[in-house]
Structure 1
Amino acid sequence: MRADAKKNYNHLLAVAHDVVAQHGVDASMRDIARRAEVGLATLLRHFPTREALFEALLCTNLDELTQKAGELETSNSPAEALVSWFREWMAFAQSYRGVVALMAAAHTNPDSALYASCAAVHSASARLLLRAQAEGTARTDMNGDDLFGLMAALGWLVDLPSFAPRADHLVDIVTSAILPNRSSNNAKKAAC
């Protein structure tokens, strides 16, 4: 990509980040173009679909999230790694209003621009769960799909203003259900 094209691309992403942070995933492509002081056609040349824009916007965040899961996989306690992963996910989910619904829709659609990123998050979640199951601290009657579903459901719930302040408490409740064999002392330490 030419230097000027890369500069324009980065400018569009920066403006899109601000607009989406303010208005959520339903932010208007026209509004993004207007605030970037370019025509809609220019925005669409770089990002032909809303999903393409969100893939570019979220790619770095999702790569960092997946990298964090890799780091957690090597931690000493699989149960604590899973709790930390859940908290990392929740922080990501709260970064853009509506991002969880967007990811949940892309999760099963291989034609989606977000599919690969969602698949990486799903796979990382499943590996962390399997590790905790092998340790004997996580429920054995669930799989990676169940975990991804719980994460998405909780992410969607705390996207609602009335539940956002309770996010940490809700994470504690859900992770306690996933990790019933974890000692209460460990659960209290993780909550701190």
Structure 2
Amino acid sequence: MTESPRQRPMRADARRNYERIVAAAQEVFAVDGADASLEEIARRAGVGSATLHRHFPTRRSLLEVVFHDRVEALCARAREHAERSAPGDALIAWLRDLNIYAAASRGLASSLLRDGRDADLLQQNDDCRAMITAAAGELLHGAQRAGSLRPGVQTEDLLTLVNAISLATEHHGDDAQANRLLDLAVDGIRMPR
């Protein structure tokens, strides 16, 4: 097994190439989705295809790195919402963050739902899927304990709702529609007044 760039120190020029590739991949994946051209990523990074493949031997290895940092930031947002808002409001605010993240990370939705070619993409060493599930679960349970959410709602229900919205709207380029659909879903999970 070869060591990943995260496990061994790199020369300064190799580190710069690695960072440029990841930055270019984030941009290209956001526009073209998980099936984006690796050649386009290499071109935007200003490196050759061989350099890209030396750092990332497979598309999957590049996707894992790109998604990992974004997932960590998303989970940090969950903690921030929990600290600053009432439990129900914190959950709803984070679901909006997740909705935006899913729209900006085309291909993530199918990975979370486990029905795409990279169905287990987020099941890597850092276990991104588990991080998202844990963040959603903590917010959900807090909202349920506070009585602001229906008691039967489960974490997977919330993740499936947001990802279904992302899948349904990703080819329309209409973020407003995704937000309206999330608002409808949120109304359905809140406790009736």
Q: TM-score range by the shorter chain?
A: 0.7 to 0.9
**Offset at residue 160 of structure 1 (A):** 2.9
Return the structure number with greater helix share. Answer: 1
**Offset at residue 157 of structure 1 (A):** 1.9
- Greater displacement, 28-37 / 89-98: 28-37
Does 2:65 align with 1:68? Answer: no
Question: Given the alignment, which residue of 12, 19, 29 partners 2:21?
Answer: 12
**Where do 4+ consecutive residues of structure 1 move more than 4 Å?**
none
* Aligned twin of 2:7: none
AA of the residue aligned to 1:159: E
Q: 1:156 to 1:45 in 2, by over 3 A?
A: same
Cα separation, 2, equivalents of 1:114 and 1:171: 31
Structure 2's unaligned 5+ residue stretches are: 1-9
Does 2:55 align with 1:46? Answer: yes
Question: Given the alignment, which residue of 135, 138, 159 partners 2:149?
Answer: 138
Structure 1's unaligned 5+ residue stretches are: 184-192
- Greater displacement, 99-108 / 60-69: 99-108
RMSD: 2.5
- Normalised by the size of structure 1, how large is the TM-score? 0.83
AA of the residue aligned to 1:146: D
Cα separation, 2, equivalents of 1:16 and 1:4: 18
Which digits, 9 at most, give the CA deviation of each residue in 1:71-120, with x for residues without a partner?
Answer: 22223411111110111011111213323213333998488438711210
**Offset at residue 31 of structure 1 (A):** 2.8
Which digits, 9 at most, give the CA deviation of each residue in 1:13-60, with x for residues without a partner?
Answer: 122223223312110223322443433332122112222211211222
* Aligned twin of 1:158: 169
Which digits, 9 at most, give the CA deviation of each residue in 1:115-159, with x for residues without a partner?
Answer: 711210111001111111111111111211222211221222221
Secondary structure of 2:127 counterpart: helix
Alignment of 1:1-192 (within 5 A): 1-105=10-114, 109=120, 112-113=123-124, 116-161=127-172, 164-181=175-192
Cα separation, 2, equivalents of 1:134 and 1:83: 15
- Normalised by the size of structure 2, how large is the TM-score? 0.82
The answer (yes or no) to whether the contact 2:99–2:163 under 8 Å persists in 1 is no
Cα separation, 1, equivalents of 2:73 and 2:157: 23
Cα separation, 2, equivalents of 1:172 and 1:100: 18
The answer (yes or no) to whether the contact 1:51–1:114 under 8 Å persists in 2 is no
The answer (yes or no) to whether the contact 2:64–2:122 under 8 Å persists in 1 is no
Q: Percent identity?
A: 33
**Offset at residue 178 of structure 1 (A):** 1.1
The answer (yes or no) to whether the contact 1:12–1:36 under 8 Å persists in 2 is yes
